Chain A
Amino acid sequence: MSRLEKSYVFLKNRYSKESLFLLFAICLLPIHFWAVIRAFNNISWLINRSELDGAISYVFYALDFAFLESILVFLFIFQLSLLVTIRWEKYKLTTIIATLFLLITSFAIFIQYYQYMNFNNKNEPLDIFIKTLYPGNPLRAQLVFIIFLITILILLVGGIILILDRFEKICGLILEFYNRLSVLAFLFLLLDAVGLIVIIFRNIM
């Protein structure tokens, strides 16, 4: 077998078309949800500044950027998943990778929220927690906090892999949930396509 044929067989053993699309959909959804939430956060002052058509166009620009981001993130996750040596069945591999991605997304949202609280000087509970750990040594306290977060992450990753590998029923239920969720991805893809047409129209006309 040539190298190309070997690669094709390798990929075919890992993913089917449906499972690849499902993974893409799971990558796409949180990125688009975040983009829409953030875009609508700006809508009221954008309408004031740029009229309604400008504000709506801004949402489309945000969605199309989210689409580009989704593709890049999906490709990255896909590449990483090829390094997994455990021979899971296709549906199990997709479910585990997708769940781990959603876990990372939750952390990303947590970090964003933490920065927001920091910006508005509302991080007192976390600040107090950090200061209590090592009073008088904030740098050490922050380092310990980061190590604590990483530890939690590793435990969660390990836990997810263990549960989904051992318990077929749970894995099946989660997969079913993702399948239903992936319908939303079609809606976002449609909006992205409409957005692209609007962008082209606005910049050419």
Chain B
Amino acid sequence: MDKAYDRREILKLLTLFPAIVTNRNLNPNQGFSSCKNKKNMLIIVFDAFSACNIPFYGYLRNTTPKTSEILNRAVVYHNHYAGGPFTTPGTATLLTGVLPWTHRANKIHNKVIAPYNQLNIFSEFKSKGYFNISYTHNPLVDTLLQQFNKYIDQNIPRRELMIRTGWGSGMLPKDSDLVDILQRNILLGNEGMNDSLFLGKYLSKDNFTKRQKIRNDYKESFPRGLPRSGSENFFTLETAIDWNKNHIKKFPRPYFGYFHYIPPHHPYHTRSEFIHLFNDELHFINKPAHILVNGKSQNIVDTNRMFYDQTIAYVDSEFRRLFDWLDEEGILEDTWLVLTSDHGEMFERGIVGHSTNTLYQPVVKIPLIIFEPGRKKQLNIYKKTSAIDILPTLMHITGHETPMWCDGQVLPPYNEDGQYNNIYAVMAQKTPTGKPLTTATVMMIKEQYKLIYYWGYEKLDYKDLYELYNLEEDPEELNDEYSPNSTLAKKMIEELKNMIFMAEQPYKK
């Protein structure tokens, strides 16, 4: 027999060629299969989750009993700080690894400036072959995710996990904030006046009926009302967690998932089983109202604190439900799970929430817990850490180089050689985008000392104001140690102002 292939046999072999090509294209993991040995990464962010209201960080109320039970699987960071006191700067800091005076997303619905629209956590994971997936309830976070959309393989629309959405989230997601404001002014009015002369009355009646129906449908499980974003977007945390349970196993591997949920952010609408918790006689320290704040009464502050703590218990329960499922399914064996927040929440000094020009501990100190695959014993890290450290740390633990442009560093225990860096946070909501910081509050923590610097506020007659606290001896920030003659204060102020000066250079003409 002739051993050489004849023409007929070659033609038969060639018919296999299209099958080889199409099979490659049909493989859903195509492009990711070369990275399948890499571990997955899941970040779960609960909005406005303050470390100061969590018992394993020293809080008196047991708001997170279920999460406390699983800390043996985690590295717990006890002194972790947000980049800013509300969603936009806090989230942008987490996602870009640079501080607000660098990424300049300082106002509500701001986007980050170039080059951070192309240099961020999603672009980094994408370039390393990860499948990026994201979801948020929060429209401010959605603005940032839309900006990074090029690097996100699947950005789930907000409305998909909501029970009812407003016109903005439903029809015009890119301008959802503006349209939701218009909807609110038309349906609910503003100081008694509707922005629509005729239709508003009819639509608001119809809207009222629909809202009442939702309220009645969920009255038993959510007696105070459903959690919501804005005035018209209703959801439950259970829906979001169930979505994760139904879809995580289908994500192409390796994946990077960023899930940013609104609870325990205001309104503090918790599930019925938590509604009677913490109706205790506990009294928290009554701190004097800050000069920049139109203070609320202590009674209102304490009541809201109780509602907030009840909402944390709801968050704790749902997070534990997700964790247990991930564990049972074996997903945690090859997935890093990070639990954190974008900023905290305050219930002191006459302040309820985080709409404040101050940067006290409750509004900037947030949880950071990294559930490491294979970990069986809790590791506590007391070194001061920042949201800017998350991006380089995640890059490092997934076996990649840390980005050169990040302000942060790899956190212990993954990098024991790290130097001590100061911790900064910035509040500059009154500064127009692209302009120098004219009105701002900046915080610097150096070792155990915390300096807060205010400037440009009309209420302060546009004069500079400084506060200095020793966090080790005075964690409640009751004793302001600032004095113009203090050597320590002068040194810290000089160092802080140098940092601000360097950050402001591109904006000074």
Contacts and interface: CB of A to CB of B under 8 A. Distances in A.
Given A42-B190, A65-B182, A34 B197 contact: yes
B182 to A, nearest CB: 5
Interface stretch (A111-119, A142-150, A183-191): A111-119
B206 interface: no
Given A51-B432, A203-B172, A203-B174, A35 B196 contact: yes
A38 B175 contact: no
Nearest to A115: B192
B331 interface: no
A171 interface: no
Contact of B108 (A35, A50, A202): A50
A62 B109 contact: no
A38 B181 contact: no
B248 interface: no
A105 B193 contact: no
Contacts of A112: 192-194, 197
B185 interface: yes
A31 B178 contact: no
B109 to A, nearest CB: 5
A202 B175 contact: yes
Contacts of B172: 199, 203
Interface residues of A, number: 37
Interface residues of B, number: 29
A115 B189 contact: yes
B107 interface: yes
Interface in B81-121: 107-110
A50 B177 contact: yes
A203 B185 contact: no
B191 interface: yes
Given A51-B433, A69-B196, A61 B191 contact: no
Contacts of B181: 42, 46, 58
A38 B178 contact: no
B43 interface: no
Given A30-B197, A61-B179, 9 more contacts: A35-B196, A35-B197, A39-B195, A51-B432, A65-B196, A66-B196, A69-B198, A73-B199, A120-B191
Interface of A: 30-31, 34-35, 38-39, 41-42, 46, 48-51, 54, 57-58, 61-62, 65-66, 69, 72-73, 105, 108-109, 112-113, 115-120, 199, 202-203
Nearest 5 Cβ contacts at the A-B interface:
A119-B192, A115-B192, A38-B195, A116-B192, A34-B197
